Chain A
Amino acid sequence: MKSAVIVFPGSNCDRDLAVALRDITGVAPVMVWHGDTDLPEGLDLIALPGGFSYGDYLRSGAMSARSPVMGAVVAAANDGRAVLGVCNGFQVLTEAGLLPGALMRNAGLDFVCRDVALTVANSATVFSARYDAGETIRVPVAHHDGNYTADEATLDRLEGDGRVVFRYAEPVNGSARDIAGIVNAGGNVLGLMPHPERLIDDDLGGSDGRRMFEGLVAALG
């Protein structure tokens, strides 16, 4: 599987994501600077990392969503390429219009940084195929703006179409309908606030995040 990690100014989980992809896919991802206008040929997966790109100025993800590389990312996503956005990457995907809704300041105003329980709401996506539907997993979060919001019609549509992939199984940030991760209508773009790349090794606290990448390898080659 050939993957790329997009690096924005202020990304800080790009290396974690690269290590996870290298260890699990067996091939180091290409690190792509946000100022590039083209992506490498033949990518199977494009990953947008966590962090505080542009210092979260204006709105989290707002600046990065307008950076030069995003034109190519949007085109690839619309072409059916798998795109994964973690934390700030999820915020960038909503700001870029690839996913509906927005991520607002956590309802409690606190920065939340701890492991949380997630329920797998849909295991029929390329990102969640290695999980069982209804399974509870443990994945860390670290964010200030993870409070997912969208209008009621959008939330109903997301739920009706099985596009909610992960839900919080405990109170975390006030997200509408406990949404932690959603996919686009095509199922090839996932955004989630929790960090699966941080929990890929039992020696380092757990491996519930590992199966996301293992499922991607199985689906994408």
Chain B
Amino acid sequence: MKARVTVTLKPGVLDPQGRAIHNALGGLGFAGVTGVRQGKLIELDLADGTTEADVAAMCQQLLANPVIETYRIELA
């Protein structure tokens, strides 16, 4: 059993790295990009019986910083 946790900055939190990527894409001639936000993808291998609530607790206690980030969990 696996979980994919996507951690992204909350809306409104300035993302200097996303802005730099945006500028670089513009420099390569990709004029159609109107915004870039960079996040993290964390893949977890889980023992059977681990619940989505367990993964949510992991996100709240370590994987994401709730001051600036939100997370999304996909179980597979």
A residues with a Cβ closer than 8 A to B are 58-59, 62, 66, 94-95, 100-102, 104-109, 147, 149-150, 174
A101 partner residues in chain B, CB cutoff 8 A: 67
Query: B67 and A150: CB pair below 8 A?
Result: yes
B68 CB to nearest A CB, Å: 5
Query: A66 and B13: CB pair below 8 A?
Result: no
Query: B67 and A66: CB pair below 8 A?
Result: no
B39 CB to nearest A CB, Å: 12
Whether, in the assembled complex, B16 has its beta carbon less than 8 Å from a beta carbon of chain A, the answer is: yes
Given contacts A107-B14, A107-B16, A108-B16, contact A102 B63 (CB under 8 A): no
Query: B16 and A106: CB pair below 8 A?
Result: yes
Whether, in the assembled complex, B65 has its beta carbon less than 8 Å from a beta carbon of chain A, the answer is: yes
Report the contact-size class of chain B (Cβ under 8 Å from the partner): 10 to 19
B residues with a Cβ closer than 8 A to A are 13-14, 16-17, 20, 40, 61-63, 65, 67-68
B68 partner residues in chain A, CB cutoff 8 A: 102, 104, 149
Considering the chains assembled together, what is the distance between the CA atoms of A100 and B20 in angstroms? 27
B20 partner residues in chain A, CB cutoff 8 A: 109
Q: Which of B16, B61, B62 contacts A147 (CB 8 A)?
A: B16
Q: Which of A58, A94, A100, A104 contacts B16 (CB 8 A)?
A: A104
Query: A102 and B16: CB pair below 8 A?
Result: no
| Residue in chain A with minimal CB distance to B61 | A66
6 A-B contact pairs sorted by A residue (CB < 8 Å): A58-B40, A58-B63, A62-B62, A101-B67, A150-B67, A174-B16
Q: Which of B13, B14, B61, B63 contacts A174 (CB 8 A)?
A: B14
A90 CB to nearest B CB, Å: 14
Query: A95 and B65: CB pair below 8 A?
Result: yes
A105 CB to nearest B CB, Å: 5
Considering the chains assembled together, what is the distance between the CA atoms of A108 and B14 in angstroms? 12
Considering the chains assembled together, what is the distance between the CA atoms of A94 and B40 in angstroms? 20
Query: A149 and B14: CB pair below 8 A?
Result: yes
| Residue in chain A with minimal CB distance to B13 | A149
A150 partner residues in chain B, CB cutoff 8 A: 67
A100 CB to nearest B CB, Å: 7
B63 partner residues in chain A, CB cutoff 8 A: 58
Q: Which of A62, A106, A107, A108 contacts B65 (CB 8 A)?
A: A62
Considering the chains assembled together, what is the distance between the CA atoms of A104 and B13 in angstroms? 10
B16 partner residues in chain A, CB cutoff 8 A: 104-109, 147, 174
11 further contact pairs, Cβ within 8 A, besides A66-B62, A94-B67, A109-B20:
A101-B67, A102-B68, A104-B13, A104-B68, A105-B17, A108-B16, A109-B17, A147-B16, A149-B14, A149-B68, A174-B16
